[in-house]
Every structure is written in C-alpha cells, then in structure tokens.
Chains A and B, each alone.
Chain A
Amino acid sequence: MTWVLSHLNYVAVIVVMMTGLFIVFSTSNLIKRMIGLAVFQTATGLFFISLAKVSGGTAAIRIGADGPAAKALAQQLDPDYVAQHGVDGVVYSNPLPHVLILTAIVVGVATLAVGLAIAVRIRESYATIESDEIAAQDRAGAREAGSAS
C-alpha cells in the first residue's frame, strides 16, 4: 500500500500528461491542439515539482531556526530527521525545480500566444482552423496548379 502511495503522485501526473498528448493527436482543431499542448506542458511542470517535494519540508525561504514558525514546523517532525535533512534546523523543499518551472510557465504562455497567432492567421487565409480541411484545400490548390501547367 505504501508502495502505491509513494508513486501515485507520479502516475497521476503522467495520466494528465498523456491526456494532453491525446488531445494534441485526436483533434484537428488548431486551438484545441494548443490547449492540449498547454496541458502537456503544465503536467511536465507538475512532475518536476513532485520530484522537488521533501516530506515535512516547507517553502524554500530561509527562516531562522529560533523563530516561532521554525519551531512549530520542527515540532511535527522527528528531531533526527530534522538534524539529518534540515538546513540550520528547518527542512526545506528543493528550490531548483521551482526555478526551472517558474520561468517555463511564463515562457509557455508567450509561446502559446505565438501558436494562437499563427492559428488566427491560418483562419484568415483558409477560413477554417480544422487541420484536415486546410490540408484538403492545399491538395485542391496543388491539383489546380498541376492541371493549369
């Protein structure tokens, strides 16, 4: 049971991630595809943050070990555990993945906007955002060009 619990987190995040992948491949609507990509990307972030969690840890903002907040945290934990894994008497979660995902989220919205802008331009040229209709129009255009020459 504990074996299941200790990895359930990763499995759930992978399910979300694969749902995103499924959306990207199953739909022909370009905007829905961008939403699928966003789900996939967010899930990648969730996975990184999952790995960074430390049991009994707190946010990676250094607080003095003598303060009331640090004491309240330490009370819930085994002193040996704090001594072994804490930094100056307080257990923190790993800050490095937080840094990576924080910037990735902002970059994610910027690139999402670029993809959507391209979708909007495609809509203006083809009057549709369904990728198979766009492909059909392209094939029809190529056939006309072939018969003309």
Chain B
Amino acid sequence: MIAGLDLNLAMELVLLGMLVVLAGAIAYTRKLLAAVVLMGVYSLVSTVWLVLMDAPDVAFTEAVVGAGVSTIVLLGAMLLARGESEKHGQARMIAPALLAVGVGGVLVYAALGLPDFGNPSSPANAYVGRAYLEQATSHTGAANVVTAVLASYRGFDTLGETAVIFAAGVGVALLLGFVERSPGRLSASAEEHHVVLRVTAKLLIPVIALYAFYVQFHGEISPGGGFQAGVILAVAVILHALAFGLGETMKALPAGLVRGCAALGVLVYAGLGVVSIANGGGFLDYDHLLPRDIEAQIPAWLLGPGNHHWGQFAGIFGIELGVLLTVAATMVTLFYSFAGRAASTVRGVRR
C-alpha cells in the first residue's frame, strides 16, 4: 500500500461503521422525532465521509440539504401529521428482513466482483472521468472539474434536474395550497419574543446570505456552485422566518414572487440554450453563446492570461445563476408550504 493512506482508510471505515449504526438506529426507533433527528446526524456523518472521499462539492450539498433543509421539511411534515410514533410491534419484521438480507446478499455477491476500492485504473475511473480531468479546464476555463462537467458538458442533464426541482416545488405548493391564500394567516410565532434568537439571527442572516454568494461566484475555482448556494440562500430566509415569524418573512419576500423566481431560473437556463442556438451552435453550446464579433471586442486581460473562453465563462455563470434562482426559490417555497399549513392548522385546532 502507499504510505499515509492507511489512516485515511481507517477513518473512512470508522465513519461508514457509524453510518451503519445510525441507519440501524433509524430502523429500530419507534419515535418519529428520534428518526428525523438521527437522519440529520446521518447526513452530517456522511458529509465528513464525503470529504474523505475527495468529494467536497457533494459534501457541501449533503451538509446544507441533508442536515439542513430535509430535516426542516421532515419536522414540518411530522408536525402536520402529528405522528409521534409508529403503532406496530414486531409482526411485520420477518418478511422485510428476509427481503433485505436476500437483496443485500445478491448485491454483496455482485460487489465482490468490482475493482478494488481506490483502484485508479478501474473502468469507472480510467476513461470518461480521466478525460474530463485532462480536458475540462482547457475547454471551459473552470478549474473545478465538477463545475465544468455539471454546467457545461452535462448542461442538458442539469437543466433536467433543475426542472425536476422546480416541478417538485410547484407540486408541493399545489398539494399544500398557496400559503398566501390560506385563512387566518401566519403570525403564529410573531407574538412570542425570543430575544436571543432574534439578535443572533439578525447578525447571522447577512453573513449567511453573503456566504451563499461567495459559494455561487467561486463555484468555478473551488467547491460550490448554484445548487449549494441556492440552498444556503434559502437557509437564510428560513432562519429569518424561524426567528421573526413566517408572516414577517412573507411580507418581505412574498410567496408569489418566490414562485416566480423559481420559474425564472429555469427560464434563464433554457433561454441561454436557445441563445446559443440562435448564434449558430447547439443547445447549451456555450462556445457559440456570444456572437463572434462581440467576443472579439472583449480585452483578453479581463479573464486572466491564457484564458479565451468568454462564451464558456458567460454560459457557466448564467446557468449557475439560473440554478441558484430555482433552487433557492424552490427550497423557500417548500418551507413556506409546510410552515404556512402548520400555522393555519395549529390555529384551527386551538380555536
């Protein structure tokens, strides 16, 4: 083995062991609240594991999405469904356990035929991945190969994912009703004064928002990008709602506007694709994004020496902006939907 790697491997296996234990605990516990919190811990541990796997972009996403937003959404759904615990005992354990062991056995048998862990010349690592590593930076000018692949090579794929996120946001808004039209709205927590929470939130919100933009605009040279920045930006809004009450947040940032932003993001993304068709390229072919005569006018020193990818730069920048808009707006819409419904239902019960 190569020196210095054994410690990494040991740490990585310990973390995986923790994940196994956490998943087992989620399966074992009968309390929904415990399962939700354990799910958050599970995400946090897998974040650390992802960093060890050299996947900082994924770790970033998992940290904000898994440990942040999905815990909030699960808690909101739990509050609405008032599900404190499951009702059933051991009766239905045997068949699912046999199924899981059977499927798991087949998968383990298949996995033992895979190339060794960390093998640099395995088929997965040797061809496409290596080609991206060799060429992405000279093709697109982005040092972060993950961003280059996500935004440029597989831009069409990412457009689809962005559209799915938008559709999910619209779906949740339709299922739970548009918040601003719900009766008896929304100052549920505004009358309670949490001074410490409010002062801390006031200090934190601008910093979180600023950090979101840092992550957004450094996505080409460091881990980050539109997906992560979008969720972080949404977290700033959610924190505001938690500290000052949903009503206040919705005065500052109306739900209709947020849904509009989600649609606008997908529109910006797809629109850039259409612009590159109009300028003589393929859909989302950023090399044709800017007309040649305009591109020739731009002084070379603006992008740094040896970098002549104005089209790629503008394209990645533009679609990341679209992703930011859609992801942030969708996450805020999800929160508005669950929290708005909770506010009106809890009120209905009290009265």
A residues lining the B interface (CB < 8 Å):
2, 5-23, 25-32, 34-36, 38-39, 42-43, 45-46, 49-63, 76-78, 81, 84-85, 87, 91-99, 101-114, 116-121, 123, 129-130
Q: Report yes or no: A110 in contact with B43, Cβ–Cβ below 8 A.
A: no
- B128 cross-chain contacts in A, Cβ below 8 A: 96
Give complex CA distance A20, B104 in Å: 11
Q: Mark B120-145, 1 if CB is under 8 A from A, else 0.
A: 11101100111011101100000111
Size bracket of the B interface:
35 or more
Enumerate 18 A-B pairs (CB-CB under 8 Å) in ascending A order: A6-B118, A9-B117, A27-B88, A32-B86, A34-B77, A38-B70, A52-B55, A55-B119, A59-B55, A76-B2, A85-B120, A87-B130, A93-B55, A102-B57, A102-B227, A107-B164, A113-B334, A114-B168
Q: Report yes or no: A110 in contact with B330, Cβ–Cβ below 8 A.
A: yes
Closest Cβ–Cβ distance, residue A134 to chain B (whole Å): 12
- A117 cross-chain contacts in B, Cβ below 8 A: 77, 171-172, 175-176, 337-338
Q: Report yes or no: B32 in contact with A31, Cβ–Cβ below 8 A.
A: yes
Give complex CA distance A84, B253 in Å: 54
- B61 cross-chain contacts in A, Cβ below 8 A: 102, 105-106
Q: Which of A6, A8, A18 contacts B103 (CB 8 A)?
A: A18
Chain B binding surface, main DSSP class: helix
Give complex CA distance A56, B54 in Å: 10
Q: Report yes or no: B146 in contact with A95, Cβ–Cβ below 8 A.
A: yes
- Pick from B77, B111, B157, B169 the residue with the most CB of A within 10 Å: B77
**Do A102 and B146 form a contact, CB below 8 Å, given A32-B35, A52-B125, A94-B124?**
yes
Q: Report yes or no: A61 in contact with B222, Cβ–Cβ below 8 A.
A: yes
Q: Report yes or no: A32 in contact with B124, Cβ–Cβ below 8 A.
A: no
Q: Which of A6, A19, A105, A113 contacts B26 (CB 8 A)?
A: A19
Stretch with Cβ within 8 A of A (4 or more), from B13-21, B188-196, B279-287, B289-297: B13-21
B5 an interface residue at 8 Å Cβ cutoff? Answer: yes
Q: Report yes or no: A35 in contact with B74, Cβ–Cβ below 8 A.
A: yes
6 extra A-B contacts, CB within 8 A, seeds A5-B9, A21-B103, A61-B222: A17-B107, A26-B92, A60-B54, A81-B2, A101-B58, A116-B74
B154 an interface residue at 8 Å Cβ cutoff? Answer: yes
Give complex CA distance A21, B337 in Å: 29
Q: Which of A12, A34, A108 contacts B16 (CB 8 A)?
A: A12
- B96 cross-chain contacts in A, Cβ below 8 A: 21-22, 25-26
Closest to A122 in B: B81
- A23 cross-chain contacts in B, Cβ below 8 A: 26-27
Give complex CA distance A121, B173 in Å: 12
**Do A21 and B100 form a contact, CB below 8 Å, given A113-B168, A120-B77?**
yes
- B46 cross-chain contacts in A, Cβ below 8 A: 42, 46
Give complex CA distance A77, B119 in Å: 14
- A108 cross-chain contacts in B, Cβ below 8 A: 65, 70
Q: Report yes or no: A99 in contact with B154, Cβ–Cβ below 8 A.
A: yes
B62 an interface residue at 8 Å Cβ cutoff? Answer: yes
Closest to A117 in B: B175
- Pick from B81, B112, B144 the residue with the most CB of A within 10 Å: B81
Closest Cβ–Cβ distance, residue A24 to chain B (whole Å): 8
- A93 cross-chain contacts in B, Cβ below 8 A: 53-55, 125
**Do A114 and B171 form a contact, CB below 8 Å, given A16-B19, A93-B53?**
yes
Q: Report yes or no: B120 in contact with A57, Cβ–Cβ below 8 A.
A: yes
B24 an interface residue at 8 Å Cβ cutoff? Answer: yes
Q: Report yes or no: B120 in contact with A54, Cβ–Cβ below 8 A.
A: yes
